[in-house]
Amino acid sequence: MTHQILIGDRAYSSWSLRGWLLFHAFGLPVEEHRTKMYSDDFARDLEAWAPARTVPTVRTPEGGLLSDSLAIAEHLAETFPEAGHWPREAKARALARSIAAEMHSGFTALRGACPMNLRVKWEGFEASEAVAADLARLSRLWTLARGMAGQAANGGPWLFGAYGAVDAFMAPVAMRIAGYGLATDDVMAPYVDAHLHHLPLRRWRAMGEARNRTLHEYDMDLATGRFPMPRPIAAEAVANGPSANAACPYSGLPVTHFLKVDGRIWGFCNAFCRDKTMHDPEAWPAFMALLDKPAR
């Protein structure tokens, strides 16, 4: 048996994103279950994960339940110590845990005014003084962490050099900053950009786009634009093959659905595999390995 995780809608559930990244950004196996927020399914699905009341929730191979993101992070760090969820150096590890915990319980003005929405970029959003204060606090914490990472000569764009649990906790914050066009400084801007280019996060968003579910509870009275992820390679669903590949790059099953990319037709085992690839082909190494092969 492996770990299992219950998540909500990818485009909107910031805490689900954190929990999912704690596995996928570290290459850890997990069986995924999904529920729909703002629907009758939500409470019904959670009954099987009691006593959890929200997402993400993780069931361990032994049957234990973790219904809090910090608990999930600490459990995984304990269970997979080689994965690198927290910095090895004690001083950096203490700061990383403190930043993650402050994100977990704080920044209420930013989180309340700017709900995560990965489907659109909001144009003309004006930050309140309280939101600006939260951004200033983020800048201070991120600057401190980046300075510590520089001193340790770890390299990498993340808060402490290598990607860690604290970066998973900050991923939805970076998406809010990008999605609402919030002001950044010389430390914040490249860190937000690192998240926008992070392949696991790009895969998360592509799968949300493939599900194509819009929650109007997140609507705002603002003009919208394209969410500022890297612009994807042009791809379009097509009705028929033949495809250059006989097996789906993800499941290995025979192909039934087709996508045109780079002038060639590619096959997938179902509509979801096709559509998640269509929304960001470069986010999927297994597909890019096919695309990079020369045509025969």
**What are the C-alpha distances in Å from 29 to residues 52, 76, 107?**
21, 11, 31
Q: What is the pLDDT of residue 294?
A: 65
DSSP string, 246-266: SB-TTT-PBP-EEEEETTEEE
Split at pLDDT 50, 70, 90, the class of 295 is low
What does the pLDDT average to over 73-86?
98
Nearest residue to 217 via CA among 127, 122, 116: 116
What does the pLDDT average to over 281-292?
95
Structural tokens at position 26: 């570290």
233-236's contacts with Cβ under 8 Å and 24+ in sequence apart are 233/261, 233/262, 233/281, 233/282, 234/261, 235/259, 235/260, 235/261, 235/277, 235/278, 235/279, 235/281, 236/260, 236/278
Return the residue matching tokens 């608990």: 71
Q: Looking at residue 49, what DSSP letter applies? A: G
Return the residue matching tokens 């629907």: 39
Q: What is the pLDDT of residue 211?
A: 96
Contact 69, 104 (CB under 8 A): yes
Confidence (pTM): 0.96
What does the pLDDT average to over 187-203?
97
Greater confidence, 150 or 220? 220
H helices present in the chain, as ranges: 14-24, 40-46, 69-79, 90-105, 108-113, 129-152, 165-179, 188-197, 199-211, 271-279, 285-291
What does the pLDDT average to over 77-83?
98
Split at pLDDT 50, 70, 90, the class of 272 is very high
Residue 52 scores a pLDDT above 70: yes
Architecture of domain 90-202: Up-down Bundle (1.20)
Antiparallel, parallel or unpaired: β 4-7 and 31-34: parallel
First-to-last C-alpha distance (Å) of the chain: 41
What does the pLDDT average to over 238-266?
96
Greater confidence, 1 or 247? 247
Split at pLDDT 50, 70, 90, the class of 156 is confident
CATH topology agreement for domains 4-82 and 90-202? no
Q: List pLDDT tens digits, range 13-35.
A: 999 999 999 999 999 999 999 99
- 106: helix, strand or coil: coil
Sign of the alpha-carbon torsion through 159, 199, 176, 124: positive
Split at pLDDT 50, 70, 90, the class of 153 is very low
- For residue 290, what are the contacts with CB-CB under 8 A and spacing of at least 6? 244, 245, 249, 266
Work out the percent of the chain whose per-residue pLDDT is above 70: 97
- 212: helix, strand or coil: coil
What does the pLDDT average to over 158-174?
97
CATH number for the domain whose boundaries are 4-82? 3.40.30.10
What are the residue boundaries of the structural domains of the chain, listed by start? 4-82, 90-202, 235-291
Beta-carbon count within 10 A of 240 CB: 7
Residue 151 scores a pLDDT above 60: no
What does the pLDDT average to over 90-105?
96
Residue 152 scores a pLDDT above 60: no
